[in-house]
Structure 1
């Protein structure tokens, strides 16, 4: 019984360290009603185990901080608190998850930080979480949808989805799922319609309210990286090479927004930029730059933008 209690105590100490707690031998001796000498033997047991199994435990080490006179667990390949904080900030900024889902993710991530850093993280994100507004979802759980879709994509099986269109109409689609991407607040399922496999369709994952996996398999591949580099706001359309001038304050913002964009010439305060793009989303982005942007090529794209600007002007007449 004593041996069992000893190992339970050792596991409890290790779990405390794994959760990011810092502790002294004196604190543990009081908690377990044991001598500090016994506690130090327990700590030595843990340190020896970690040292002998360094490769399996990712170079984990129970280290002693002489300044704090306390022990803590350190991982070489563990996410640092500053890295976790960056991840949490990104997750909040996406607004892609329900508040309950996001709070659960953050709770688990905080469990990977030290007790001290956990408090700092709470202070830094409390206001953001209080004012957090998720985008409107039709599905019960975006996370559950994503995970179910991942398995169907991996199996390369056809599927049927029940889906809410932009106008609120619920429809069913039999599709061949290819990939999941994230863009501007939403996760999208990229898929081919079984009757039209020449152009991929984009379905917002949060609008999928039901899905059925079929046994029929298919063979198709898709480069989501190329799509992400060319598309804006996930609006479909045609692929084309465009040229435009930009005379705004930050040309870098343009290059960041359109990954394929490159500066080919500089004329005074204007930059001549070329890019390979896909879809109509780039129209929305370029128009949002107002008079800073002028489309130069190809001519049919110039006419397309001119017609759109005429429609915009008519709204104010």
Structure 2
């Protein structure tokens, strides 16, 4: 049999054919394998292909042959990722606010290469999330990578930080001055990605939206704040910070309607103790960073959750309600009613 013009690529093309055209539900016969190789101008005898299929296992590609009638059907088994696992990854990428639409599509295309062409079609799914607005900062991937590199090398980072103004323009905070922060971790909360780091000048743990960081650079200075982060549980810090808004950490006692038990567990976990109060309510003591976001969370639950103590926090809640009510005040209404 005359050799084709691309014989040196035979094993590579065979691997490509098996990975793209077979899976648990789709098989390929020996004549079909030979025909597929021919599409790449590669010729091969059956015996050499049998040997090549065995050699693919050395590359981590396990091919199984099953007798069907008078022929064998071949397909790839035991891929690194199962289809349901990749579907979860696709859903996470599509629903992530901090990943741009263009990058979402590019990442999903790469995931499709991990399965056959048939399963790849099943990954082309659209996840619709109410109010989803994708970030417009394409550099977030390189920012995240730079943060991880700085953490692994125990270095500080420098970056500029921006906010959007009423003209829909990026406006650098601190007049464009660079922030000099010791990075200690990353957190995904409230649909956004945050850097959690130590600000040496302020002597505080602070967090920053990764998609609002610009021109990140690794510093020559070693990180500071290790003693703070030895005591800090990152997951616990995130749970206490509503929407990653800072605030004074306090133990707050809540009166909760029984029907909101699931809401409390989703927010604070199953370890919090529910203390029955009456037939329809229970109380719970939780540690939170008290902020306007926390009050907004309580307010969003209507009469289902009430802050009982401490008095300082209940008074802050009353003040928040008064401020909001004042924005909708009509002539003739006495503010003391609120």
- State the TM-score, normalized to the length of structure 2: 0.79
Q: Which residue of 1 aligns with 2:333?
A: none
Do structure 1's residue 274 and structure 2's residue 285 form an aligned pair?
A: yes
Deviation string 1:55-79 (CA, Å, 9 cap, x unpaired) is x83xx52123557964222226x11
Q: Is the 8 A contact 2:90 2:123 kept in 1?
A: no
Distance 2:208 2:42 in 1: 62
Distance 2:238 2:66 in 1: 46
Q: Is the 8 A contact 1:261 1:276 kept in 2?
A: no
CA drift of 1:258 comes to: 2.7
Q: Which residue of 2 aligns with 1:316?
A: 328
Q: Which residue of 1 aligns with 2:194?
A: 188
Runs (4+) off by over 6 Å: 34-37
Q: Give 1:176-215 correspondences, 5 Å limit.
A: 176-197=182-203, 199-215=204-220
Distance 1:98 1:161 in 2: 21
Deviation string 1:263-292 (CA, Å, 9 cap, x unpaired) is 422321223222122242332212211111
Distance 1:28 1:136, change over 3 A: closer
Do structure 1's residue 225 and structure 2's residue 228 form an aligned pair?
A: no
Q: Is the 8 A contact 1:97 1:134 kept in 2?
A: no
CA drift of 1:228 comes to: 2.0
The SS at the match of 1:275 is strand
Q: Is the 8 A contact 2:64 2:76 kept in 1?
A: yes
For structure 2, the 5+ residue unaligned runs are 330-338
CA drift of 1:312 comes to: 2.3
The SS at the match of 1:162 is strand
Distance 1:133 1:272, change over 3 A: closer
Distance 1:270 1:95 in 2: 36
Q: Is the 8 A contact 1:162 1:210 kept in 2?
A: yes
The SS at the match of 2:246 is coil
Q: Is the 8 A contact 2:97 2:135 kept in 1?
A: no
Q: Give 1:222-261 correspondences, 5 Å limit.
A: 222=229, 223-247=233-257, 249-259=259-269
State which of 315, 318, 327 in structure 2 corresponds to 1:306. 318
CA drift of 1:133 comes to: 5.0
Give the total of aligned pairs: 305
Q: Which residue of 1 aligns with 2:97?
A: 95
Distance 1:132 1:39 in 2: 56
Q: Which residue of 1 aligns with 2:153?
A: 155
C-alpha RMSD of the superposition: 3.2
Q: Which structure has the bigger radius of gyration? A: 2
Q: Give 1:62-211 correspondences, 5 Å limit.
A: 62-64=63-65, 70-75=73-78, 78-122=80-124, 124-125=125-126, 128=128, 134-137=133-136, 139-165=137-163, 169-170=171-172, 171-172=176-177, 173-197=179-203, 199-211=204-216
The SS at the match of 1:169 is strand
Q: Is the 8 A contact 1:153 1:178 kept in 2?
A: yes
Q: Which residue of 2 aligns with 1:14?
A: 15
CA drift of 1:185 comes to: 2.3
Q: Which residue of 1 aligns with 2:336?
A: none
- State the TM-score, normalized to the length of structure 1: 0.83
Distance 1:251 1:180 in 2: 29
